[in-house]
């Protein structure tokens, strides 16, 4: 008697996911939107390997970031790591190919990254980032345009209520300079980045106990970070706090220019806010920083973040390669859209299903599918002449918009029955008029396209 076969339990690793067709349809739709917006500003696509030499990645994002890196020795005994974001590989890429790329260089990169952090709502160990960056300019116009891209991206996705929170690391560093706390800048900014999560008292305690600064210094930092009011009011308050600090005053100037541009855009009030508490957890930021919150779902966290980094490429080249950009967190955005009811379950990219009624006319059904595809109408042909009720059930489950039906009588008359699977309406259409009719039917937007396109 043969031994019973030991089967492996099919399961995914914690923090990682499989994506079913309906989920992939939604993901690809968002990626298409991001790609379209980025291209409209002149950003060009690039790609880099998932694996880098460990020295390329480590020490760039900070101590906490290094702890989350998936790192191992490959078969060639090389010390390698999986990218934890797309910005650090961009610094290596830019230094390596700067002579070919030319400056300024605008790129977008849509690809997965990996972080060994604790999985949570909207947070996974493998996730997709949709980055865009401008490399090779210190001009504040690039920072302002980064803000424009974020706004256009969210409007195209169909989010009506969102807030882009803005700050500038130079403002924070200017205050630390005036308080004599510059040598503790990294630790202070890391603690400050936790303000929303753990509150003021806990942040002050951490700055005192772990960072090693006096309590009055910690409170000065928090007093500035918690300034409230309109951007103009906060900027006015910061002027006095930062007077005499060259770096702090430069940060204020950059923010003033940015909000001057915002005021000319005609965006809804509060669309862009100045939040001095934003520090961003990664060490490489040096100037303007951005976080984007959804008005109807703020507790899911920032769904599009980024900032200016002027020194990230220093370890790879002597040439100055400052950069600024941001990244849409695709998976977190999709989780938010699902909670907001702004996605639909579609498991087919084709809106039209040709049903098969008569097994002897297989070639006719297949030829119709070819004709419709040549006309630009994505079409699936059901492969078997099964019960028509079963085929309709399949069509509704998959999310087709239209079903085409024809038996002996229809073939004899040269017509097709076209059924709208949402409304139930059905019409008899001559084969010669079919493309025009389907094109008209499909031009009516679905709820999904209304909410996202």
List, for residues 313-336, the tens digit of each pLDDT value: 998 999 999 999 999 999 889 889
Residues of the domain holding 189: 21-339
pLDDT in the model for residue 445:
63
Residues 225, 101 share a domain = yes
Are both 111 and 165 inside the same structural domain? yes
Residue 288 near residue 312 (C-beta atoms within 8 A): no
pLDDT band at 389 (very low <50, low <70, confident <90, very high): very high
Lowest mean pLDDT among 119-123, 142-146, 157-161: 119-123
* One domain, residues 288 and 363: no
**416 and 330 part of one domain:** no
Query: Lowest-pLDDT range, 148-157, 185-194, 204-213, 414-423?
Result: 185-194
Whole-number pLDDT of residue 330:
92
Element holding 97 (H helix, E strand): helix 87-101
369 belongs to a structural domain:
yes
The answer to whether position 272 is within a domain reads: yes
CATH number, domain of 391, equals 3.40.50.800
Over residues 83-89, the mean pLDDT reads: 93
Of 339, 369, 394, the one marking the end of a domain is 339
Give me the mean pLDDT over the 146-168 stretch.
Answer: 96
Within a domain: residue 1?
no
Q: Quick check: pTM over 0.95?
A: no
The single-letter DSSP state of residue 183 is G
Question: Do 356 and 321 share a structural domain?
Answer: no
Length of the chain: 453
Average pLDDT over residues 292-309: 92
Residue 197 has a pLDDT of 83
CB atoms within 10 A of CB 441: 18
Q: Quick check: 91 and 312 in contact, CB under 8 A?
A: yes
Could you tell me if 320 and 359 lie in one domain?
no
Looking at the fold, whether 216 and 294 belong to one and the same domain comes out as yes
Mean pLDDT of the chain: 91
Same domain, 41 and 164: yes
339 vs 390, residue with greater confidence? 390
Residue 445 lies in a domain: yes
Tracing tokens 């999310």 back to the chain, one arrives at: 399
pLDDT at 283 over 80: no
* Domain match, 243 and 382 both: no
Higher pLDDT, 367 or 60: 367
Contact at 8 Å (CB) between 398 and 348? yes
Could you say which of 308, 339, 370 is where a domain stops?
Answer: 339
Cβ-proximal residues to 23 (8 Å cutoff; 6+ apart), any chain: 334
Q: How confident is the model at residue 453 (pLDDT cuts 50, 70, 90)?
A: very low
Residue 107's DSSP bridge partners are 44, 133
Q: Can you give the pLDDT at residue 450?
A: 40
Q: Are residues 366 and 297 in the same domain?
A: no
Does residue 236 belong to any structural domain of this protein? yes
Q: Is residue 344 part of a domain?
A: no
Same domain, 151 and 265: yes
Look at residue 277 and tell me whether its pLDDT is greater than 90. no
pLDDT in tens, 224-236: 888 999 999 999 9
* Structural domains counted in the chain: 2
Which of 339, 369, 391 marks a domain boundary?
339
Q: Are residues 364 and 321 part of one domain?
A: no
CATH number assigned to the domain comprising residue 189: 3.30.930.10
For 71-108, give one letter per residue: b (16+ CB within 10 A) or e: eeeeeeeeebbbbbbbbbbbbbbbbeebeebeeebbbb
Rounded mean pLDDT, 372-381 = 97
Helix, strand or coil, per DSSP, at residue 83? coil
């Amino acid at each position: 008697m043969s031994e019973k076969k030991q089967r492996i339990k099919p399961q995914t690793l914690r923090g990682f996911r499989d994506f079913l067709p309906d989920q992939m349809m939604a993901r690809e739709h968002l990626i298409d939107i991001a790609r379209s917006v980025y291209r409209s500003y002149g950003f060009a696509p690039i790609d880099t390997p998932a694996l880098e030499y460990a020295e390329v990645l480590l020490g760039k994002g900070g101590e906490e970031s290094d702890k989350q890196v998936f790192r191992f020795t490959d078969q060639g005994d090389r010390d390698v790591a999986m990218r934890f974001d797309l910005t650090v590989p961009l610094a290596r890429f830019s230094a390596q190919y700067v002579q070919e790329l030319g400056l300024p260089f605008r790129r977008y990169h849509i690809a997965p990254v990996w972080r060994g952090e604790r999985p949570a709502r909207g947070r996974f160990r493998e996730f997709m980032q949709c980055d865009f960056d401008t490399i090779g300019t210190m001009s504040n116009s690039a920072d302002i345009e980064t803000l424009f891209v974020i706004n256009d991206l969210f409007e195209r996705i169909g989010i009506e209520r969102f807030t882009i929170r803005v700050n500038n690391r130079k403002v924070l560093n200017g205050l630390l300079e005036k308080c004599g706390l510059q040598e503790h800048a990294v630790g202070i900014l890391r603690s400050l980045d936790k303000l929303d999560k753990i509150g003021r008292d806990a942040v002050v305690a951490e700055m005192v106990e772990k960072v090693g600064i006096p309590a009055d210094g910690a409170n000065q930092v928090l007093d500035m970070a918690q300034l409230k009011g309109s951007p103009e009011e906060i900027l006015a308050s910061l002027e006095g706090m930062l007077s005499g600090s060259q770096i702090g005053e430069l940060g204020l100037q950059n923010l003033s220019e940015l909000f001057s541009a915002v005021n000319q855009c005609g965006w809804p009030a509060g669309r862009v806010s100045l939040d001095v508490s934003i520090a961003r957890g990664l060490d490489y930021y040096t100037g303007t920083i951005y976080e984007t919150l959804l008005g109807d779902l703020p507790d899911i966290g920032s769904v599009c973040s980024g900032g200016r980094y002027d020194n990230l490429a220093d370890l790879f080249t002597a040439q100055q390669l400052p950069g600024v950009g941001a990244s849409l967190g695709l998976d977190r955005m999709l989780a938010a859209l699902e909670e907001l009811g702004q996605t639909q379950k579609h498991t087919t990219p084709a809106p039209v299903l040709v049903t098969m009624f008569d097994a002897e006319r297989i070639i006719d059904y297949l030829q119709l599918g070819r004709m419709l595809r040549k006309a630009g109408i994505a079409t699936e042909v059901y492969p078997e002449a099964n019960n028509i009720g079963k085929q309709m059930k399949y069509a509704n489950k998959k999310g087709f918009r239209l079903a085409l039906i024809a038996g002996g009588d229809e073939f004899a008359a040269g017509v097709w029955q076209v059924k709208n699977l949402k409304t139930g309406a059905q019409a008899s259409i001559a084969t010669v008029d079919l493309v025009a009719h389907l094109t008209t039917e499909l031009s009516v937007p679905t709820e999904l396209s209304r909410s996202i396109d």
